[in-house]
Amino acid sequence: MSDLIRIGSRGSPLALIQSEWVRDRIRERHPHLRVEIEIIQTKGDKLLDAPLAKLGDKGLFVKELETALLDGAVDLAVHSAKDMPTQIPAGLGIIAFTEREDVRDVFVANPRLLADVGAGAGLGGGFSLDDVPRGARVGSSSLRRRSQLLALRPDLEVVDIRGNVETRLRKVVDEEMAGTILAAAGLARLGRADAGAFAFSFDQMLPAVGQGALAIEASTDHPRLRELHAALGHRPTALAVAAERALLGALEGGCQVPIAAHADWRVGGERGAGVLVLRAYVGSLDGSVTMRSEHVRLANDPEGLGIFLAAELLERGAGDILDEIRSQ
């Protein structure tokens, strides 16, 4: 059995920070293992000029990493869990979800706008969505964020913006946008948590499925599966993300449709097993039609919870909303 663990990672600064974190956790738990990172470029990293929704979302940021796993070129692949399709290739599996960071979305305002309204930098600076001027341009390539933002502020113009975090922050200034929306977890991992002007509440904007967690993918017959899971896995996060992914799969969703979900594991239930509170959102592209739902269930059946809430949304007409979006 080899003592070398090769981690496949995208080459963006955020992806490398995440992979380095995974490498360090493995080394801490199993110091006898040698851990190296191999950079693998994905389709989503190469095609930066087209909107995400027009590229297709079947493994846009993961397919090349999965190919490397199947070919034996790497032992692990580190993904942002929100990038993972609900269908995993045969022979591969998500062996661990890491403990979640802050799952919220944050609004990153143009520094000029902050100065104009007299707000300070950071989440405590006093800036809010009400301070964004009417008709202002906000950058986002996420249909989920677009839908929920326009449901709150239909006067805004949402324009596509792609690239790594620093590229997006630069485009906000260069292209004179009011701001953009990013994941709090990504900003924190990059040491840029202070860039966020305010965090959206879950009543305003639910996150992407799996947001804030890392998904560790490997061959299901890898000889060090148990060691790697023990070093990286976080059960409450795994239960929560399982419920969210089951809902997404039942709605046949992905990057091309505005679906959001967040499951929260809480202490309670039979024998202290815990309960999951799952919230979900489906909306039209312009935010004019929105649908929210919530359900609580024992944490011993997270997939059942996700499927149940998806069925409820479909019964209320979510399928019609999603079918119309797919037809566009």
Q: Mind telling me the catalytic residues?
A: 83
Name residue, tokens 């620093």.
166
d(CA 183, CA 9): 19
At residue 12, the 3 state secondary structure works out as coil
d(CA 64, CA 246): 24
Q: Are strands 275-283 and 290-298 parallel, antiparallel or unpaired?
A: antiparallel
Residue 19 identity: S
Q: What residues contact 80, with CB distance under 8 A and at least 6 apart? A: 15, 18, 61, 186, 210, 211, 214, 215
User: How many helical (H) and strand (E) elements, i.e. helices and strands, does the chain have?
Assistant: 12, 13
**Spatial contact of 289 and 322, defined as CB atoms under 8 Å apart:** no
d(CA 257, CA 144): 7
